[in-house]
Amino acid sequence: SSSSSSSSSSSCPPDVRANLSARYADAVRRAADDPFVPYENANGIVNLAECSTTLTNRGETTNRGGGWDDPPEGTPEELTRATIAELGALFGQGGVEATAVTGPGIGPGFVRLRLAQFQDDPTSWASEAELWESMVETYGVLLRPGAIGAVESRDESAMSDDVAFGSNEPGTFLACVAGRSEEALLTGMDRLRTQLLQRKFLHGRW
């Protein structure tokens, strides 16, 4: 019973999860309506929360977030490894802890990021929500927050709906580095780096 109590106490409160889930769904819609497109909409949102940025609207298929017009070199697995290495050396030392998300039903390209140290309160679910909101509203980059739970499987490249990531501790986010142009991927990572550097100076935990 003590283990179940511990698990319950560390889970995201239902009200925080419900509120963040609604805001996340709205952000996904906004990213579809106002996507980053190189040389066309440079201030648009870079959606790194989903592997596929090809959407169907009114019966027409359109590439959003840069599509695959100029895909990065390498396979999704190679992009994942390169992203993890880049995040680990983000500030020369004390970078971002990142790992590949693998398992049955999980397509390549997903990366789990631990960003709790960049939150106002590393142990707070509300602080995770605040950090996520800052990513979208101030820096225009969309990641999936761990507080909202497992990813629902929509296609072969998505995580299966029984796979959760980091939902028992605040500060875990999911990003997919496959499914968009090289320019969109680089822009998204640059925006994330800018935000985390600002947070690093703000909190001074390194």
pLDDT score at 52: 59
Q: In which band, very low, low, confident or very high, does the pLDDT at 11 lie, cut at 50, 70 and 90? A: confident
Using the predicted structure, report yes or no on whether residue 83 has a pLDDT greater than 60: yes
pLDDT score recorded for residue 45: 97
Per-chain mean pLDDT for the chain:
78
Calculate mean pLDDT across residues 35-58: 77
Stretch 172-192: mean pLDDT, rounded?
90
Domain 2-203 class? alpha beta
Please provide residue 52's backbone torsions phi and psi, each rounded to the nearest 5 degrees. Answer: -100, 125
Query: Is residue 89's pLDDT more than 90?
Result: no
High-pLDDT (> 70) share of the chain, %: 71
Q: Is the pLDDT of residue 159 over 50?
A: no
**In this predicted structure, what is the pLDDT of residue 164?**
45
Q: For residue range 105-120, what is the model confidence (pLDDT) as tens digits?
A: 566 788 999 999 999 9
The pTM (predicted TM-score) of the whole model is 0.79
Res 66 pLDDT > 60: no
Considering only CA atoms, which of 19, 23, 24 is closest in space to residue 48?
24
Higher pLDDT, residue 135 or 57 = 135
pLDDT reading at 4 higher than 90: no
Residue 60 has pLDDT above 80, yes or no: no
pLDDT top residue among 53 and 173? 173
Q: pLDDT tier at 154 (50, 70, 90 boundaries)?
A: very low
